[in-house]
Each structure stands twice: as C-alpha cells, then as structure tokens.
Chain A
Amino acid sequence: MNDQEYNQMIQRCLRCSICKWIPQVQIKSQKYASICPSIDMFNFHAYSAGGRITIALALEMGRLKPSKELMEVVYKCTECGGCAIACKFLNTLEPLEIIVKLREKLVSLGYGPMPKQAQYIESIKKNNNPYNEPHEKRMEWLPKDIKIDPKAKTLYFVGCTSSYRRKEIAIATARVMNAANYPFKILTNDEFCCGSPILRTGDRKSFIDQVNKNLDNIEKEEIETVVFSCAGCYDTFKIDYASEREYNFKVLHTTQLFNDLIESSKLELNREVPYKVTYHDPCHLGRNSELYEEWDGDELQMMPLVSINIPEKPKRCGKYGIYEAPRKLLEKIPGLNFIEMERNREYAYCCGAGGGVKSAFPEFALKTAKTRIEEAEDTGAEIISSACPFCSTNLKDGIDDKGSNLRFYDISELILLSLGSQDKFSKKLSVEVT
C-alpha cells in the first residue's frame, strides 16, 4: 500500500463495526460471532480495525500526536487480518494493511515497537533468533538418526520457534520426510530468523536485512523448493519476501508437501489415531498467506465521483489461503474423526499470539488462546491440531491456563503417529497421545 492509497483509505471508514464480526452471512451463533481478539479483550472501539483507522486519520489530520497511549492501542492487535476479511466482503478498504503501515509510521517517529518486542528484535540482530538463545544451539533439535541429504534440492526452513521452543514439530516434520524417502537439507547455522517478528512490529528496514541474509544463503544452495512447518515463516517468505526481493524457488508448507507425498503413495498412513480432532487455521497459513495478485490496469472515471478499475482489481479476501491441505491430511488419518470449529478457514479466530502480542501483552495472548480453546472444546474434540509452532505455543498455554482436557498436537505429529514409526521419538509421542 503506497502513501496515496493509505491517505485515501483512512478517510473512508464507515464506522459500521463490520470489522468486529466474522462475515455477517457466516454467523452461526451469538457466542462465536466475533472475529477481532483485540476488541474482545479491550472493548473500547479504538481497539478495533475501524478504531485504528480513525487513529491513523487523526494522526494525519494532526488531531492526535504520537504518544505512548496511542502506541499501546495500535500494538494491542494480533494483526490476524480477520477484520480485513469481514470488511472486504463488500468494502474495498484494507484494514490490516493500514494497521501495518500505521505501525511502520509510528516506528519511524520513534513510537514503536513495544519495549518487549524491541528486546526480541535486538536478539534477532544479535543471535539470529528472537528468544535470546545462542545461534550455535539452533541445530540442537536435530536427532542424530535424521537423514539429511546435502545434495537435496529441497530445503527445510525450520524457523526459530521449532528450533528452540517446539522442537517436537521440527523432529516430526523431518521424520515424516525421512519416512517418505523425501530428500531434504537444512541450512544448519546459516538459517536465520525469517524476520516476521520485526516486520509485524513495524520495523521494515531491519526486516529487509533478514530477507537479504536468508535469501543470500538459500540462493547459494541451488534450492528448488523450500518447505516450512511454521506458518509464520511460510507466510513471510511467500508474501513479504516476495514483495521485497525476487527469488527463484518454490515455497511449500508441510501440510501441502505431506498431502503430495500421500497422494503419490510415498507415505502410507496405517496406524489408527482414534480421536476426535479439530483444526485451528493459523492466520499466516490461512487468510494472510494469500498472494497479492499483480494488477496492472487503469482507473477509469465513469462519471463524477465514480471510478472503476479495468480490469477489476483483485480483492485479497483470503480465499486462496491454505485451508484444504491440512483438512485433507486429517481426514486421511485412519480412525481420526475430524470436527470443524464454528469459525474456520478465512474467518477463523486467531490464536492470539501474532503481531508481537505474545511478547508485549502476554495476558491478552492468553485470554485469546483460551477463547479459541473453548471453541475447540465446544466441538467435542479431544485434540486440537494446527500447523504452526507459534499457534502451538499459545494454544498450549491456553489449554494449561484453562485447565482444559484438550490436548494439542501439530499436524506433523499426528501424521508421524499414523505412520506407526518405531523410533524412540515416535514411540514417546505414541505413549503421550494414547
């Protein structure tokens, strides 16, 4: 979004509050009608997309000056993009992009990111990960019996969260690829944070450094495909890297890869996983991973005040996110009973961790996770699964804090379980699940 589009759009919010709800025609109950974790937590209208658009306008008009109060309101948002899906059912505003740009403007004025987020960013610059962990320990997740093929044309980009915090997801992913005899390699110590935490909190300049560091390293390796088990890294490469610098490899999420492997009979799911399972769509794998379609048309004024775009400008409404691949996977697991949550696919409710919220406002992240866990419980599921280590962390926190009987497993873990592998990790996982 350029400055002209931004300045036009911030004048056009109707204050209709559509951004607070899932698309109106999809509302199935009073309880799960909401889409915005921020307004659900803080209640004042300012904490909605419409409110933040008003803040952007008030800043441009000089009615408001940047301040700590303003910064807090702008940063208490998970940037899940649910608002944008709801708004764009009929309107042409881009609420999420406005919020992203508003954060970038605040950073340029010295009001952002939040102190905790700044610590994470410092750690990325210093240690190449946001968790203040030594870079040399990045590979500690990797068991010795995992086969890595240095000549492989596929790279598994592990990501910081799976490398340091949710190692089980990285291990399960690698084991599934091994089971399918699918050759892959990893960047070992040349893998750096994808930069998503920097970008989402408004520091685009520093983000571009991460883009260049990672792409330089990948391009050295003659890679054809990069596979991600982290929805955040996947989205950042697919959408945000592509907007900053061209690259010549294909990006795949593991849910897509595993489906391909099953459909080409390279993976066989034999073992029953007899549980009721529901699936949480990560925002970064679902609605926000939809590509920006290039538009190279003209704006034609049909009459005073009414213009149209020729050809019609594509609306990014979340339709082309990755929704079916994870569902197909779950449905292929023998004995597994897949149950959908009320808010799903492009209007799924956020887990609460994104946009820097988990670090800066942990209570907000936790409350949102518990809301999502309650929705999962209401389906009657025993397991909630997802395809993102960051969602995994926050949803697990939600389960623990709520004292829920639900259990969380990443989709890669459920696939591994269904393969019936007999290695130590798989046996441990099997015991844990059963």
Chain B
Amino acid sequence: MTLEKEILKEFEDVVGLGNIDDGEVITNVYAYNWCTEIFNYMEGKEPIPFSSVPKAVVLPSTTEEVQKLIKLCNKYGIKFKAQSTGLGPWNQPSTDNCIIFDMRRMNKIVKIDEKNLYAVIEPYVSGAQLQVEVMKYGLNCHMPGAGPQVSPLASSTSMNGPGFTSPSTGYSARNVLAVEWVLPDGTIMKLGSYGLKNNPDWYHGDGPGPSLRGIMRGYSGTKSGLGIFTKVAVKLFPFPCNCDYDVKGYSPNYEFIIPKFMKLYIMDCGNFKKLETAILRVEEEEISFMCSYLCNYAVMAIFSNSTESLLDKVALGRMQAPLVILIAARTKREFDYKQKVMDFLLKKLNLKNIIGTLYTPDPIFYAEALRSNLGLHGFLATGSMQSAEGGADTALVCLRSAAMNTPLKKKYIKKGVIVNDFGEGAWMSSYESGHYFHLEALTFFDQADKSSITGMADYMGKSFQLDLIKHLGAPFFVEGNRMHDLFGPHMSNYHIWLRKIKESFDPNNISDSGFYISPQNK
C-alpha cells in the first residue's frame, strides 16, 4: 500500500528530495526486526520476522519537520511510528497504514553540562557516542542492556532501559530530565525546566506545575504510541575510574589495560536465599559499579566471544547462584575502602571470589563492562534471545519469580524448543544501589527454526499467565492491548487510565499504538 503521489509530494516538500521513500524495497526492509516472528505468532499471525509493511519511510532532520510531518499524518489519517537505532519488534508498525519516521538524521549532542551532570541529545545519538564524548569530561552515562549501539533517547523516553551498570547509573526511565516532545496532534510540548517561560534549560524533568513524566512514559514507555521525542536531557554520572581508556590489538581479541582501581568479584551464593542476602548487603554499602545475579549460562556468555569458548567455561557453569560484582574507583583511597568493605562482606557471608583462582577473564571483559557491551554476548549460543518474563520489584519477588518460572521453563527445554540453561536463565540487577531490582528470564531460542519460535512464544505466553496466578507483577514487556488487558484488571485497572491518556493526547489515534494501547473508543 503506497502513498498517493500528491500526498507523497507533500511529505517530500517537508524533508526534501531523497529523505522519503515509498518503494517496496525500503519499506520491506523496515518491516523486519529481531523477535518479530515471536510477536507475530503471539498475535495469531504467521511466525515470520516481518511485520506490516509501512507505506513509506521518512527521515526528518529537525523538530519542526517532525511537527509538520505529524500534522500531515493527521490530515490524511495515516498513522506514524518513530524509530531511532531501531533494535527490536517495538519499532515495527502494527498496520500498513503507517509511515515510519526514521530519526537517523537527528543525531546531534546538543549540550553537555558537565557541572550540572546532564547531556541533551537527539534521537540518533548512540550510547557509545554519548559516552565517549562525556568521558572527555570524566563522566559516564547510563546504557541499557541492549548495548552501546542503541539510542539513549529512545531508551529513556520510550522503553525501560535497565543495564549492567544500573546499580551506579540507575536506568533509562529514571535518568530522563527535560524533554522536547511532539505530541500526536503536532503540538510541541516542552517538559520540565525546558518548559519554563524564563531561562528555560534542561536540568530538571518535572514541572512547572504537575509533572507529566508519568504520562509521558510510565513504567515501560509508549514505544512511539504517544508522539515523538526529539530532544531529551539525560543524567550523567562520574566515570567510575580513570578515563585512560585505550583498546589495542585486533578484533575480536582486543587488548586492554585494566584500570588500576578496578576489581571483579564472582561468588557462588549456592541458592537464591543466600544470593538475596548477599546482593542486598553489598548494595546497602553503595560500592558497586555493576552488581548482578547472572545464571551460570549467562556468566559463561559474558566472558566468551563464540559458542565454543562459551561451552569451554565449565568451572563457571557449575555455579548455583552466581553474583557478579565489579567495583571501580578514581583514587586509591576510594578503592581501598571498597575492597575493604568487600573483604568484610565476603568473610561475613562466607563467600569466595573465584576471580584469579578458578577463573581469570581476558582484560577485554573490563573494557566491555566499561562500555556496556556485555548484553550482546547473550546472543552467542543460538543467535537469538528474548526475555520470557520478569520485571521491577524487590530482590525477593524477583528471585521468587525466577524460581517459580524454572519448572515451566524446564518443560519447554524438555521439548527441545529452547536452550537448556537448567531452567534458571535469568539476569537480575540492582537499581540504584539496591533500592529495588530488575529481573529478566533470559531464554535462548533459534530464530531460524519454526518449532523453536513457536515453542518460545508459547513459553512466553505461559510465563505471563504464571506471573498472574502467582501474583508476581507485570512482566518487563507489558505492552500492546493484549498484555494491558490481561494485566490491567489485576493491577488497579491501570489499563483504563492508560486508554484515557491515549485518547486525550491522541484524539485521531494517529500515533501507532501497536506496542502501547489503543484508545477507549476503539
């Protein structure tokens, strides 16, 4: 379904020649994404990695262009869906009456305020790009587990964004300050201190007046279901150690000199009860740069760059409840203090660090940890991975959720449709020094094997039901009508409120709601 020539011309007049394409090749490419086959199957469609094909793809370069394009979408009743770096099914249109806004040309770091610890970015600045520029000021930014190649703007406005450094850098949803937001009707909204009449600036996300941050993104973001974010301020943090970062050698065996004040700990807690005690105690001390529970399989993966090297790490695979902690410091005094605390806690909790004894990682691991590249190792075994369930809660509830899911997962492992991780595949990270936690039940499947795809989708569906029956909260990926209607009635009927928000902000239902919620009147 292509655009009528006259309509295409109107769009082209906004962005200029070469910045809109309605050809079948370009549009079909934008219909493809990772895990789309899973979501298709869950929606009762064929399990193929292609979604609906958009009518066209447009490349705006300014907020004003975005505004004009959205107004045209309203004028002609065509839905729009924005994407930046574009990883994941959430970027896909839910209907072929849709135009994709690829935000690639909006790629500026607008401002780095090193004194007030924030940076203002456009949609197509990648995490790695932002990080390397703020490192020049001795600073760091948060990056989601998806990796340094994804957009911090997309993560902070429209997703959730937990990452390996969440204990020290929070998570994307909590790092967003002021935003510039083009609403579904084309109105430009400035939230937070950027909306002030006098001296607007980006340092604060709330007010003036009531904060709209909850409406803007809520728990898991609207995935472009409520307009398009064109600029955002994100929090910055001190870089955890010195910034003399220099990777030498050749891919994939890069060499790296481990910063002087950095130390990795991996302890086998033996069981979830002890793990919970240990992780809460360590986080109470606010000393970790990274602090995660990783199932044994995931621990093997973060130190590997091939399936062969992954399966070679048997010593790591024997652990029951591994706790991975990375401490880093900028001064010897700070480092000594952190080590002293760790020594004390290890002794008190009767835990042993296996690093340097049972296992010594290659130095590149530390470089990847600093550049938030560890999540991508999850794709090594089969080429694809998805989180079946999980969410944000206390350590106790998160671990209970993982434990309760294990027997279910084992059934699917027995069927041979997902990889055998002993049913325990999960990653749990502390948020903000243990104030609460994030858990994802990582599951490895084969995207080129139909029975694996459908098996994985069935397992995810059953996991959601289990979450409901066992009162484990909403899963990480609670999105789209089906999921909101499933969980809403059990959670204060939030879905009714969400629909009201959608209806108020998007009266013409133009902002594609495939991964958000459709308005009440639909």
Contact = CB atoms under 8 A, between A and B. Distances in A.
A99 to B, nearest CB: 14
B25 A46 contact: yes
B149 A17 contact: yes
B199 interface: no
Interface string B352-387: 000000000000100110010100110111111000
Contacts of B87: 14-17
A90 B148 CA distance: 14
A44 interface: yes
A306 B419 contact: yes
Given A44-B102, A64-B24, A346-B250, A24 B444 contact: no
A58 B36 CA distance: 14
A305 B49 CA distance: 19
A404 interface: no
A203 to B, nearest CB: 22
A130 B125 CA distance: 41
A92 B306 contact: yes
A319 B255 CA distance: 13
Nearest to A26: B247
B307 A317 contact: no
Interface residues of B, number: 76
A18 B256 CA distance: 21
A85 interface: yes
B105 A45 contact: no
A206 B432 CA distance: 62
Interface stretch (B180-188, B233-241, B445-453): B445-453
B308 A308 contact: yes
Interface stretch (A66-74, A112-120, A174-182, A418-426): A66-74
A57 interface: yes
Nearest to A317: B251
A89 B128 CA distance: 16
B308 A55 contact: no
B519 interface: no
A212 interface: no
A25 interface: yes
A324 to B, nearest CB: 11
Contacts of A138: none
Nearest to A45: B29
B496 to A, nearest CB: 34
B25 A27 contact: no
A14 B383 CA distance: 8
B57 interface: yes
A92 B146 CA distance: 18
Interface stretch (A28-36, A160-168, A227-235): A28-36
A33 B306 contact: no
A393 interface: no
Contacts of A92: 306, 383
Determine which residue in A55, A89, A347 has the highest number of CB atoms from chain B within 10 A of its CB, and name it: A89
A17 B86 contact: yes
B508 interface: no
A14 B25 contact: no
A302 interface: yes
Contact of A24 (B21, B148, B250): B148
A326 interface: no
B64 interface: no
Contacts of B339: none
Interface in B382-404: 382-384
A69 B29 CA distance: 13
B341 interface: no
Contacts of A64: 24-25, 28
A76 to B, nearest CB: 11
Given A27-B132, A91-B379, A16 B307 contact: no
Interface string B457-489: 000000000000000000000000000000000
B242 interface: no
B125 A43 contact: no
Contacts of A389: none
A315 B24 contact: no
A84 to B, nearest CB: 10
Nearest to A73: B25
B67 to A, nearest CB: 20
Contact of B447 (A12, A51, A346): A12
Contact of A90 (B34, B305, B311): B305
A43 B102 contact: yes
Interface string B13-55: 0000011010111101110111000000000000011100000
Contacts of B109: 30
B287 interface: no
A11 B32 contact: no
A92 B419 CA distance: 18
A304 B416 contact: yes
A14 B21 CA distance: 23
Given A12-B447, A85-B251, A28 B29 contact: no
A8 interface: yes
Interface in A1-54: 8, 11-18, 20-21, 23-30, 33, 42-46, 51, 54
B253 interface: yes
Contacts of B146: 16
Contact of B380 (A12, A69, A90): A90
A90 B377 contact: yes
A13 B34 CA distance: 7
B384 A306 contact: no
A54 B373 contact: no
A309 B308 CA distance: 7
Given A17-B86, A55-B29, A11 B34 contact: no
B379 A70 contact: no
Nearest to B28: A58
A51 B24 CA distance: 13
A90 B379 CA distance: 8
A318 interface: yes
A403 B384 CA distance: 48
Contacts of B307: 306-308
Interface in B242-277: 247, 250-254, 256
Contacts of B320: none
A318 B102 contact: no
A305 B24 contact: no
Given A15-B34, A305-B445, A23 B452 contact: no
A8 B449 CA distance: 10
Contacts of A304: 416-417, 419-420
B129 interface: yes
B123 interface: no
A29 B29 CA distance: 29
Interface string B492-512: 000000000000000000000
Contacts of A45: 29-30, 86, 102
A309 B368 CA distance: 25
B165 interface: no
A54 B31 CA distance: 9
Contacts of B104: 43
Contacts of B161: none
Interface in A63-115: 63-64, 67, 69-70, 73, 85, 88-92
A61 interface: yes
Given A33-B128, A305-B446, 9 more contacts: A14-B87, A14-B379, A27-B129, A69-B23, A302-B311, A306-B382, A317-B250, A317-B252, A347-B251
6 contacts: A12-B383, A43-B102, A45-B102, A88-B252, A319-B253, A347-B251
CB-based closest 8 A-B pairs: A304-B416, A319-B250, A11-B448, A46-B29, A30-B129, A312-B308, A54-B32, A12-B383
